[in-house]
């Protein structure tokens, strides 16, 4: 198994443990557990709280923001491809596609 795949599996395992069967309507409680886990992990890895906080600000937060941005781009591209398929299948008018996504590089054709 590749390292990225192993990391994804570890992340899934961690999320399952943090959520622990609670409903997503308990987002506040789940986030408190996640905050506690991250704070504990940073202190275990980097020692003093000041140093752990520095690593949070310098490495963890920018890394999470980058990962979320990347996932947003993937999701947006998937939605655009689905809409393009809908135009080709005749389920979505081309004008609606262009209004939503702008013209494609090919001059507006889906």
Shared domain for 24 and 73, answered yes or no, is no
Shared domain for 41 and 60, answered yes or no, is no
Beta carbons of 83 and 104 less than 8 angstroms apart: no
Shared domain for 35 and 58, answered yes or no, is no
The whole-angstrom separation of Cα 77 and Cα 72 is 9
Centroid of chain to Cα 32:
19
Shared domain for 41 and 56, answered yes or no, is no
Shared domain for 110 and 93, answered yes or no, is yes
Question: In which element (H, E) is residue 54 found?
Answer: helix 49-55
Shared domain for 42 and 13, answered yes or no, is yes
Note the pLDDT tens digit of each residue in 38-93. 999 999 999 999 999 999 999 899 989 998 999 899 999 999 999 989 999 999 99
Q: What is the pTM of this model?
A: 0.65
Shared domain for 8 and 37, answered yes or no, is yes
Shared domain for 61 and 40, answered yes or no, is no
Which structural domain range is residue 20 located in?
A: 1-46
**Torsion sign over Cα 61, 67, 70, 74:** negative
């Amino acid at each position: 198994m590749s390292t990225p795949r192993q990391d994804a599996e570890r992340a899934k395992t961690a999320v399952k443990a943090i959520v622990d069967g609670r409903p997503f309507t308990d987002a506040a409680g789940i986030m408190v557990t996640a905050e506690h886990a991250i704070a504990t992990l940073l202190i275990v890895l980097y020692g003093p709280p000041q140093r752990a906080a520095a690593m949070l600000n310098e490495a963890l937060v920018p890394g999470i923001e980058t990962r979320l941005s990347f996932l947003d781009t993937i999701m947006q591209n998937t939605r655009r491809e689905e809409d393009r398929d809908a135009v080709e299948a005749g389920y979505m008018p081309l004008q609606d596609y262009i209004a939503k996504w702008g013209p494609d590089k090919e001059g507006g054709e889906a």
